[in-house]
Amino acid sequence: MFWPDTISKILQIKYPVIQAPMSGVSTPQMTAAAANAACLGSLALADLSADESVKLIRETRKLTDQPFAVNIFVHHIPEMTQALKGKFVEVKQFITQLAKENNMEVTLPDLQDIKVNSYHEQVDAIIKEGCKILSFTFGNLDENSIQKLKENEVILIGTCTSVEEALALEKSGIDLICVQGIEAGGHRGTFDTENIPLIGGMSLLSEVYEQVRVPLIYAGGLYNGRTLKAARELGAQAFQVGSILLASQESNLQPFEKERLKNISEKDIVLTKSFSGRFARGLTNKYIQTLEASDFILPYPYQNKLTNELRRVSKTLNNTDFVSIWLGQSIHDYSLLSTGEILKKLILDVQ
């Protein structure tokens, strides 16, 4: 029997396969489909408001009666200094002009129009809605939130990209740790926004396994039976997959974005801060190449909020040069089947 059962029993799922949250790509339909396939679906709440989070939780509950996780960003919100205010204006002007030069008219928000949300209001909403599995990334929860969640019997899943981060999560009482290799798609879960560890997933998983006692989930480059077997050999008790679901029926990617996935090579996949202000792995394009060569990147979440409208307009124009398509380094055929069918095929591939 291949499947380890430590985490399956904790999460009350049949298979220890976790659908990655993938904010912007995953949907309540994807979360429910993963849950209904006897895996763990993850509902991406990112840095939404409490009201928006509650709406998505309730929408997902209408689609499944199985357990699923909610996922939030526990990021630090930088102080809005005069220098940052000035930089915001410069970056807005630069991106607006860049869009215009590429035949796109966009009206980016002013600073006073941007609302940044602390995760603390989400924690209260998650407890009130009776959610029992919470995963998080970009750092660690504060002590008060951890205590409050544990008092309400919420299972906590933290994300690490280094042994140091794993030890910090374990020390604070986090129940499960997701080890994220550098090859994983999407945003890095690194606590520090600037100095991200560039550690290959298999090396990191093996090292974390030797130093912590908390059950481990592994994320990064998993797309078939062989990769799952390698992760299990190095200590993984559960397996988080994301990129294999990018083109699924429940994915929020548009048809032109799914079409772009058919023709990519190793050199097309890069780490960039250009869209959000935090490092993320995805497909390079004209926007990324231009911004990375400039000084026009704000810290998260301001860069992310500023570029949301640019990405929205780009989607309406089917323009791949100004959208963020996040994916990992394991290139494969990105299936157009349903999430449930893709996960079932993956499960059969390791039997």
Q: Looking at the structure, do residues 111 and 186 belong to the same domain, yes or no?
A: no
Read off the pLDDT of residues 281-307 as tens digits, 9 standing for 90 and up. 999 999 999 999 999 999 999 999 999
Q: What is the pLDDT of residue 1?
A: 74
Q: What is the pLDDT of residue 351?
A: 77
Read off the pLDDT of residues 66-110 as tens digits, 9 standing for 90 and up. 999 999 999 989 999 999 999 999 999 999 999 999 999 999 999
Query: By the 8 A CB rule, do 202 and 230 touch?
Result: yes
Q: What is the pLDDT of residue 195?
A: 85
Whether the pLDDT of residue 277 is over 90: the answer is yes
Q: What is the pLDDT of residue 196?
A: 92
What burial class does residue 132 get, using C-beta atoms within 10 Å of its C-beta: 0-12 exposed, 13-18 middle, 19+ buried?
Answer: middle
Q: What is the pLDDT of residue 193?
A: 83
Read off the pLDDT of residues 235-252 as tens digits, 9 standing for 90 and up. 999 999 999 999 999 999
Q: Is the pTM of this model over 0.85?
A: yes
Read off the pLDDT of residues 40-50 as tens digits, 9 standing for 90 and up. 999 999 999 99
Q: Which domain holds residue 97?
A: 79-115+254-324
What burial class does residue 106 get, using C-beta atoms within 10 Å of its C-beta: 0-12 exposed, 13-18 middle, 19+ buried?
Answer: middle
Closest to 36 measured CA to CA, from 15, 55, 57, 20: 15
Q: Looking at the structure, do residues 54 and 202 belong to the same domain, yes or no?
A: yes
pLDDT band at 266 (very low <50, low <70, confident <90, very high): very high
Q: Looking at the structure, do residues 176 and 237 belong to the same domain, yes or no?
A: yes
Q: Looking at the structure, do residues 42 and 122 belong to the same domain, yes or no?
A: yes
* 337 membership: H or E segment, kind and range: none
Any idea which of 5-14, 92-101, 191-200, 212-221 has the lowest mean pLDDT?
191-200
Average pLDDT estimate for 1-23:
96
Q: Looking at the structure, do residues 246 and 125 belong to the same domain, yes or no?
A: yes
Query: By the 8 A CB rule, do 52 and 119 touch?
Result: no
Whether the pLDDT of residue 308 is over 90: the answer is yes
Average pLDDT estimate for 259-267:
96
d(CA 80, CA 78): 6
Query: What does the chain come to in residues?
Result: 351
Q: What is the pLDDT of residue 194?
A: 83
Q: Looking at the structure, do residues 130 and 230 belong to the same domain, yes or no?
A: yes
Q: Looking at the structure, do residues 337 and 203 belong to the same domain, yes or no?
A: yes
Q: Looking at the structure, do residues 105 and 216 belong to the same domain, yes or no?
A: no
Q: Looking at the structure, do residues 43 and 8 belong to the same domain, yes or no?
A: yes
Read off the pLDDT of residues 114-155 as tens digits, 9 standing for 90 and up. 999 889 999 999 999 999 999 999 999 999 999 999 999 999
Q: What is the pLDDT of residue 122?
A: 97
Q: Looking at the structure, do residues 298 and 169 belong to the same domain, yes or no?
A: no
Q: What is the pLDDT of residue 232?
A: 97
Q: What is the pLDDT of residue 190?
A: 96
Whether the pLDDT of residue 165 is over 80: the answer is yes
Can you give the CATH number for the domain in which 345 is found?
A: 3.20.20.70
Task: Please state, in angstroms and as integers, the Cα–Cα distance from residue 178 to each residue in 59, 142, 150, 159, 170, following that order.
Answer: 26, 18, 18, 5, 11
Q: Looking at the structure, do residues 155 and 191 belong to the same domain, yes or no?
A: yes
Number of structural domains in the chain: 2
Q: What is the pLDDT of residue 106?
A: 97
- What is Dmax (Cα atoms) for the chain? 60
Mean pLDDT of the chain: 97
d(CA 332, CA 59): 31
Q: Looking at the structure, do residues 131 and 200 belong to the same domain, yes or no?
A: yes
Q: What is the pLDDT of residue 327?
A: 97
